[in-house]
Amino acid sequence: MEYINITIDGIEIEARKGQTILEIATQNGIDIPTLCNDERVKPYGACGLCVVEVEGSPKLMRACASTANDGMKIHTHTERVEKSRKVAMELIMSDHSGDCRGPCTLNCPAGTDCQSYVKQIALGNYTEAVKIIRDRVPLPSCVGRICPHPCEDACRRNLVDEPVSICSLKAFASDMDYNTEDSFVPEVAPSTGKKVCIIGGGVSGMTAGYYLRIKGHDITILDAMPKNGGMFRYGIPNYRLPKNILEQEINVLRRMGITFRNNVFVGKDVQLEDLRKEYDAVVVAIGAWNDTPLRCEGEDLEGVLGGIKFLSDIGLGVKHDLGKNIAVVGGGNTAMDACRSAMRHGAEHVYVIYRRTQAEMPAEEIEIEEAMEEGVEFKFLTNPAEIIGENGHVKAIKLQVMELGEPDASGRRRPVPVEGKFETLEVDTVIAAIGHVLRPDGFEALEKSPKGNIEAGIASFRTSMDGVFAIGEATNKGASIAIEAIGEANRAVEQIHNYLYNKTTCFKEPFYSEKKVSEEDLADRPKMPRHEMPRRDRKLTKLDFQEVNLGLSEEDAREEAKRCLECGCHDYESCTLIRRARELDINPKRFEGSNHPSYKEERLEIIERDQGKCLLCGLCVRICDEQAKQGILGLVGRGFGTVVKPEFRDPATIAVCKDCGLCVSACPTGALKLLDK
């Protein structure tokens, strides 16, 4: 056997004569990207990704179809090569019509694989569903009860009838798993010997602790409150999130080996600087526990409470004499929790004061509707002008009547005072629920943003103190929804883990292929009514703090899960196309234009072909011809009309395909799928 000597990226290699550049590189652990190459068939060179630069050659060469010659000096990552690959990939992706992930997953701040866990629920595999959920969300029973579900806003079922109840299904699967004798607890890696202290036992702190513990690190969570859970325990009332459910979730973290220490105040019981010396890394996840002041005359009167203060006192068992008439100022979920909790404390009249209309309220629509059903009266287009007192206590609230003007930076129309127009309500208590901010005590050493939050790197999560990271509501942009805090904590975990091993990386948003779908595209889908969440009688719910929602039945949950349109790609996890696309900083939109036909067909009955995902690389055609020796597939048409189709159809062909499947295994993307028939 004759051998040659070549150099690839400065590495001298001895290879057999007659081998291609790609073969030699692959055998020597040098990665050259390709989509159309398969060792089972002859080289074709269709995708153009495997180009390399050879010294002495004026043109780039396709490594899969170029035979190496003795003395060749080959470069696989020059500026010319990278530019060529980028253009090739952009051209491919500009004509690729397919979803890597369903829009539900892409719209979830935590990146939960909604489609996969919903499918497992449809199949009755609840523990499998929980495993998928917990890959991104460590507190599924809690989140499934309180999340404003941005996933459902993006659900394509909206184009047919109503979105899938993705959030309720999350809680259902988790509750079912907890009811088994051996509920799921994630496997923890062997100990790394690294110690991490997390300050704050709320949703972001527990999320960070959960995933850092899975990696094998020793985790201690400190919290200033008597019990863990943060806002889940002290900010969300029991009727929305029962505390026994929260305890079940926290017990999973205990079973994983996470240590909890409560009633520990940083700055009083322990100093931040001392914690940094004791631990390999410190994560600040203290939340935002100070209520935003109303900034109106009379807010210092007895009987004026902050929304977070009021709700946390309920969680601590502290009772307030609210009186019979209560005004709650604000339009978010905290305001809704406060007004509904006030009703449950025996108030006769509860008013919500909101300076815009119902359409502009940031609270969830269901929370607003349930508050109204429970008897809360909404005073829209009003704003506190003065809190009137008598003998140092609240007696009334004077409201400035507002009207909507031009849109502000948030896109909502700005409320403008109507000059000289006021309204006065006699009230015993005013609860200010217009926002909450960081309580900085004990963290003076960390630099703050102009808004007073802890300054942390957007991608690195590092603070001004080395080895100290900050996540959640205490940082840059402040208060947000729980699922965003979970997503942020997930990203931070990778940065903290890398820091512990002196690695420097920066989070980069992964590229996804997304398909444009209209109502017309889904017009053939049958209407399937959404299974509504059963609830307790409204006349009874306002009398106690028992959970309002009763949960989906097993039958309803499985039927609801079957409404999923399964938008995301079945081949996402092993897709070569998306893996290669992410290696290049591509912008396919610059080549947008006419596309080749995009439709699904089942011509061979047992194989589904998605023409929109097909790259026309020819691998399926060649492997059917060269390996299967059948020649069933062929390229049909010219230009943008070209598609891959079977050349004939008969029972014998179907039988051959059923037992073969080589074309499906060769496809570098999710264009081919074996059907369960």
CB neighbours of residue 635 within 10 Å: 12
Q: Are residues 317 and 402 in the same domain?
A: yes
355-364, 382-391, 607-616 — which is least confidently predicted? 607-616
Which CATH number goes with the domain that contains 199? 3.50.50.60
- Examine the fold and report which residue of 517, 545, 561 is the final residue of a domain before the chain moves on: 561
- pLDDT tier, 648 (very low <50, low <70, confident <90, very high otherwise): low
What's the pTM value of the predicted model, to 2 decimals? 0.90
Q: Tell me the mean pLDDT in the region 514-522.
A: 90
- pLDDT tier, 489 (very low <50, low <70, confident <90, very high otherwise): very high
Whole-number pLDDT of residue 380: 97
**Packing angle of the helix pair 482-500, 203-214 (nearest 10 deg):** 40
Residue range 200-249, pLDDT digits in tens: 999 999 999 999 999 999 999 999 999 999 999 999 999 999 999 999 99
Residue range 239-288, pLDDT digits in tens: 999 999 999 999 999 999 999 999 999 999 999 999 999 999 999 999 99
Q: Are residues 299 and 403 in the same domain?
A: yes
Residue 175 DSSP label? H
Beta-carbon contacts of residue 369 (< 8 Å; ≥ 6 apart): none
Distance CA 549, CA 529 (A): 19
- Answer for the pair 642, 649: CB distance below 8 angstroms, yes or no: no
Q: Are residues 128 and 25 in the same domain?
A: no
Distance CA 328, CA 443 (A): 31
Q: Are residues 402 and 364 in the same domain?
A: yes
Give the number of C-alpha atoms closer than 13 A to the C-alpha of residue 260, restricted to the C-beta side: 24
Q: In what order do the strands lie in the sheet with 73-75?
A: 11-16, 3-8, 73-75, 51-54, 61-62
Whole-number pLDDT of residue 129: 98
Does residue 581 sit within a domain? no
Q: Are residues 361 and 242 in the same domain?
A: no
Does residue 408 sit within a domain? yes
Residue range 72-116, pLDDT digits in tens: 999 999 999 999 999 999 999 988 888 999 999 999 999 999 999
Does residue 524 sit within a domain? no
Closest CA to 537 of 554, 552, 524, 549: 549
Does residue 578 sit within a domain? no
Which CATH number goes with the domain that contains 71? 3.10.20.740
Distance CA 361, CA 335 (A): 10
* Residue 429 host element (H or E): strand 429-432
Does residue 216 sit within a domain? yes
- pLDDT tier, 633 (very low <50, low <70, confident <90, very high otherwise): confident
Tokens 């091993």 belong to: 501
- Answer for the pair 396, 425: CB distance below 8 angstroms, yes or no: yes
Distance CA 25, CA 20 (A): 9
- Examine the fold and report which residue of 395, 419, 436 is the final residue of a domain before the chain moves on: 436
Number of domains in the chain: 5
Closest CA to 33 of 8, 59, 62: 62
Q: Are residues 401 and 311 in the same domain?
A: yes
Does residue 575 sit within a domain? no
Q: How buried is 96 (Cβ within 10 angstroms: 0-12 exposed, 13-18 middle, 19+ buried)? A: buried
Closest CA to 49 of 65, 33, 31: 33
Q: Are residues 344 and 428 in the same domain?
A: yes
Q: Are residues 175 and 201 in the same domain?
A: no
Does residue 227 sit within a domain? yes
Does residue 270 sit within a domain? yes
What value does the mean pLDDT of the chain take?
92
**Packing angle of the helix pair 307-316, 333-344 (nearest 10 deg):** 50
Q: Tell me the mean pLDDT in the region 498-503.
A: 93
Q: Tell me the mean pLDDT in the region 640-656.
A: 75
- Examine the fold and report which residue of 30, 57, 77 is the final residue of a domain before the chain moves on: 77
Q: Are residues 381 and 450 in the same domain?
A: no
Q: Are residues 9 and 70 in the same domain?
A: yes
CB neighbours of residue 300 within 10 Å: 10
Whole-number pLDDT of residue 62: 95
Beta-carbon contacts of residue 620 (< 8 Å; ≥ 6 apart): 633, 644, 663, 664, 666, 667, 672
Q: Are residues 73 and 173 in the same domain?
A: no
- CA torsion, points 37, 40, 44, 47, in degrees to nearest 10? -20
Q: Are residues 201 and 265 in the same domain?
A: yes
Q: Which domain holds residue 462?
A: 195-288+438-500
Which CATH number goes with the domain that contains 600? 3.30.70.20
